[in-house]
Structure 1
Amino acid sequence: MKSDISLKDNKGFKITIIAILIILFFVGFILGNTKGTLEVGAKRIFEVIMTDDGSAERMVIWNIRLPRMILAALVGANLALSGAILQGVMKNPLADPSIIGISSGAGLFGIAVLVIFPQHVGLVPIAAFIGAMLAAFIIYILSWKGGIQTTRIILAGVAVSALFGAGISGMLVFYSDRVHGALTFMNGSLSSRSWPEVYTILPYTIIGIILVNIFAEKLNILILGDDVARGLGLNVEAARLGFTVLAALLAASAVSVVGLLGFVGLIVPHSIRLIMGNDYNYMFPATALLGSILLMFSDTFARTFLSPTEIPVGIVMAVLGAPFFLFLLRRE
């Protein structure tokens, strides 16, 4: 036990883990671009990216696989960082944008735009953010009673998720003629996603990564407890609100481009915490990397396992995440 604690506190160990994750990131990125109905060698990938030779490989890599892998990396990082923030702010290892209702709120408002105002599809990210913030606000109201407690957060989150889920189902009933796009949105999929979705989420990812690394130390202080944090000069409520807004923004941006994709924000931060401890200065970059890795590998599997039929990556994540959630629930 002592050696484990000292290992988690060792900066060299944490940097080594991050270096390994960077290597795995590039392995997953290259693998996702090489595998598929049309097999393309790793060397050829770089050739067709650098030179437009008009070949079929260039069309497949540049228009389909490359933006899809970039999008998987960005979405995975955003959802994982959102989960890490929520777990720290709510002091709950089970907190995840999809489990506690934040993704459902984003999904409800996003689907509302898709089925009611399809001509204004560009408003989906803004609508998703509003829905995510509304869900987070309701959860806080329902779970606050002299402080935040794990059980109340989970129960409030389940209730909010069910409420917004019912809203989504009702909308699909009333607008059944437009249900196809919404069903893809609900299952979480990277199919048919390309450069427009990359450009949509990229600014949110950049802003999110910059902010979490700037304010990582504040979250380290916040997880020590409200009294200790106040004693160290931290405005606890302002910090909690700011981090919640950031988590909602990251989750909403991911939901707006791929739909309701669950469990990334649960599996990744908890895995990193088990390996590296609770120092968010190292947790955040490691979490972003592992989130990207997990989603890139999962999407490659979903795309190739039953080729040419494609499984929505959201189904793969549910198969991975549900047992992990039950394990954590039992453990906690």
Structure 2
Amino acid sequence: MTTVSAAPRQRAVWALPAAWLLLAVVAVVSLGMGSVSISPGHILSMVGSSADDPLATIVWDVRLPRVALAIVVGACTAVSGALLQTVMGNPLADPGLTGVTSGAASLVLVILLAAPSYHSMIPIAAFGGGTIAAVLVYSLAWRRDGIKPVNIILAGVAVNALAGAFIAFLSLRYSDRLPAAISWMNGSLAAKGMDAVWMMLPYAIVGLFAAMLCIRSANVMRLGDDVARNLGEGVNRTRIVLSVVAVFLAAIAVSAVGVIGFVGLVVPHIARMIVGSNHAVLIPMSTAMGALLILISDTVGRTAFAPVEIPAGIIMAAIGAPYFLFLMRRQAAL
């Protein structure tokens, strides 16, 4: 039976509702930001109103799909990172750093560039590519004495390099079709409609629900393999199940908007500092904070440098890379 200290438990009582409330506030503010500014009060007055408001088209048809997509992508990526860090026993694990997202992106690009008529198969292709990458990472990092954190990072570098080479080959082979995929490759949420939201939403619900079902197993796994075995947990089976759920969530995000790195690294760390390591609160907190981080990144990218738009993936790289170096330095000092 797992326990959490009193301080994180007490913080979770107010921090978790506060994170979700902040997400709702930022979502409303984001709907009003852009070339045409709309006040939050005006946006709220549109809800349930049948009045013919010319601004309603901007809010519901242009900005709402983007806000909704940012929330779903952020939530899936952050929870994926939280599960990967637990199952790999590595605080530096992340869908991007471990090669999962680049593996998913490789097969998605096969469809986007080589077989665009199979567009509806993108989520399945992303999951397949992410799974292949995860299996390669496990195979390369595994030693007789288990999986060490540094081995996962090194294996992730190798898988990322392999996937990067394949993506470069596809880019050269189908250079005439590449412009259509450039925005997706940079992790952009631009020009996304509700069809993109509806395509990924069922997968996201299934993935997040599966993550919630894994709370007990994740809590046991974070105690270490030996303790988990003593508590009757099937370590290898549990590691596979948690990995599948994590890869599935990461693949969903990649299939929708491309590669947005560091969310799965940054968010779980911050969430743990606030609410502790109990996955019963860590997963909901990571869900809210991941959604919030991507939403803020996308809003800043499309408004701060207008009329030029910076993809959310680039904004996140600027935030996440320094944080990753900070974590690496801290781990080396331990």
Normalising to structure 2: TM-score of the pair? 0.95
Alpha-carbon separation, structure 2, partners of 1:188 and 1:293: 16
Q: Which residue of structure 1 aligns with residue 124 of structure 2?
A: 126
Alpha-carbon separation, structure 2, partners of 1:306 and 1:91: 39
Is 2:46 aligned against 1:7? no
Alpha-carbon separation, structure 2, partners of 1:106 and 1:61: 32
Alpha-carbon separation, structure 2, partners of 1:5 and 1:319: 34
Alpha-carbon separation, structure 2, partners of 1:202 and 1:42: 26
How big is the shift at 1:86? 0.2
Q: Which residue of structure 1 aligns with residue 65 of structure 2?
A: 67
How big is the shift at 1:5? 5.7
Q: Which residue of structure 1 aligns with residue 325 of structure 2?
A: 326
Alpha-carbon separation, structure 1, partners of 2:52 and 2:106: 41
Q: Which residue of structure 1 aligns with residue 94 of structure 2?
A: 96
How big is the shift at 1:53? 3.8
Secondary structure class of the residue paired with 2:73: helix
Q: Which moved more, 1:304-313 or 1:51-60?
A: 51-60
Is 2:260 aligned against 1:271? no
Q: Which residue of structure 1 aligns with residue 36 of structure 2?
A: 38
Alpha-carbon separation, structure 1, partners of 2:195 and 2:214: 30
1:184-235 CA deviation, whole Å, 9 max, x = no partner? Answer: 1211010001101111121122112222222211111011111111111111
Alpha-carbon separation, structure 2, partners of 1:110 and 1:53: 42
Alpha-carbon separation, structure 2, partners of 1:5 and 1:130: 39
**Consecutive unaligned residues in structure 2, runs of 5 or more:** none
How big is the shift at 1:47? 3.0
Decide whether the 8 Å contact of 1:21 with 1:290 is kept in 2.
Answer: yes
Decide whether the 8 Å contact of 2:208 with 2:249 is kept in 1.
Answer: no
Q: Which residue of structure 2 aligns with residue 81 of structure 1?
A: 79
Alpha-carbon separation, structure 2, partners of 1:62 and 1:282: 32
How big is the shift at 1:6? 4.1
How big is the shift at 1:52? 4.7
Alpha-carbon separation, structure 1, partners of 2:101 and 2:187: 11
Q: Which residue of structure 1 aligns with residue 211 of structure 2?
A: 212
Alpha-carbon separation, structure 2, partners of 1:54 and 1:303: 27
Secondary structure class of the residue paired with 1:224: coil
How big is the shift at 1:176? 0.4
**Consecutive unaligned residues in structure 1, runs of 5 or more:** none
Alpha-carbon separation, structure 2, partners of 1:22 and 1:215: 22
Q: Which moved more, 1:129-138 or 1:24-33?
A: 24-33
Decide whether the 8 Å contact of 1:25 with 1:289 is kept in 2.
Answer: yes
Is 2:221 aligned against 1:203? no
Decide whether the 8 Å contact of 1:49 with 1:58 is kept in 2.
Answer: no
Alpha-carbon separation, structure 2, partners of 1:328 and 1:27: 30
Decide whether the 8 Å contact of 1:48 with 1:57 is kept in 2.
Answer: no
Is 2:118 aligned against 1:116? no
Alpha-carbon separation, structure 2, partners of 1:134 and 1:252: 12
The one-letter amino acid of 2:83's match is I
The one-letter amino acid of 2:75's match is A
Alpha-carbon separation, structure 1, partners of 2:212 and 2:5: 24
Decide whether the 8 Å contact of 1:52 with 1:58 is kept in 2.
Answer: no
Q: Which residue of structure 2 aligns with residue 315 of structure 1?
A: 314
Alpha-carbon separation, structure 2, partners of 1:170 and 1:57: 44
Q: Aligned residue pairs: how many?
A: 327
How big is the shift at 1:23? 1.6
How big is the shift at 1:13? 1.8
Alpha-carbon separation, structure 1, partners of 2:191 and 2:117: 19
Return the match for 1:136 from 134, 137, 162: 134
Q: Which residue of structure 1 aligns with residue 222 of structure 2?
A: 223
How big is the shift at 1:308? 2.0
The one-letter amino acid of 2:7's match is L
Decide whether the 8 Å contact of 1:101 with 1:158 is kept in 2.
Answer: yes
Return the match for 2:53 from 52, 55, 79: 55
Alpha-carbon separation, structure 1, partners of 2:293 and 2:67: 11
Alpha-carbon separation, structure 2, partners of 1:155 and 1:266: 16
